[in-house]
Amino acid sequence: MSKPLLTTVLLVLAALPLSGVPARAQEVTQAMVALERAKNGHAVGDNLNALNSIREAEEALWNMAPLGVRNVAFVTERPQKFGFYTPKAGEDFSDDEPLILYCEPIGYTQPKGADGTYSISLLSSVTILDSNGAVIGELPNMPPMSMAGHRTFVTEFMVMATIGIRGLTPGTYTLRLTLTDNLDPTKSADVEKVFNLLPGADG
């Protein structure tokens, strides 16, 4: 990471509102100290320790961030590992082809327990809307996606949803996946992907 970028991050952290939020103030301080160590380490060529310091800063920043989602894609098959997926070409589906949605949440709560291990838990629901925005189907209260007992702060956590669409009439629809942090319900994020259901061979 370059010095100008580190300086910019430090300035942004310093500008965060801290009034009445002592926990956030502590996390901002931790991040600023870690980034300063990274900058100093990089300046003297100690890039390994600089990377370790950036990782420490990432953990502090992660805990302050809202829940977000990146790398959202319809995929050709269910991925077995984080980041290992094949995006589907286009948004056209036949009625016997399931929707397989892949995404990577970020900013989820990841508390560290007294035993030194972390935990993650996300809730999800799926909604299908027609071209007018009307809800035509939903899967609320799906089982939690959880992980616990890991001793390394995890930033690679994938979410998948597989939805059958047999019975829908041909047209354009929107799949909405809502994620809620089970460990901090104030954190939630919506993911939306448009898809087209094609007429069948007899339609």
Alpha carbons 148 and 187: distance in angstroms, whole number = 19
pLDDT at 35: 83
Per-10-residue mean pLDDT of the chain, 203 residues long, equals 41 39 67 81 85 85 91 95 95 95 95 95 96 94 93 94 92 97 95 93 47
Helix (H, G, I), strand (E, B) or coil at 39: helix
Alpha helix (H) residue ranges in the chain: 3-14, 22-43, 47-64
pLDDT at 28: 74
**What is the distance between the terminal CA atoms of the chain, rounded to a whole angstrom?**
56
User: Could you say which DSSP state residue 85 is in?
Assistant: -
Are residues 116 and 159 in contact, defined by beta-carbon separation less than 8 angstroms?
no
Are residues 53 and 41 in contact, defined by beta-carbon separation less than 8 angstroms?
yes
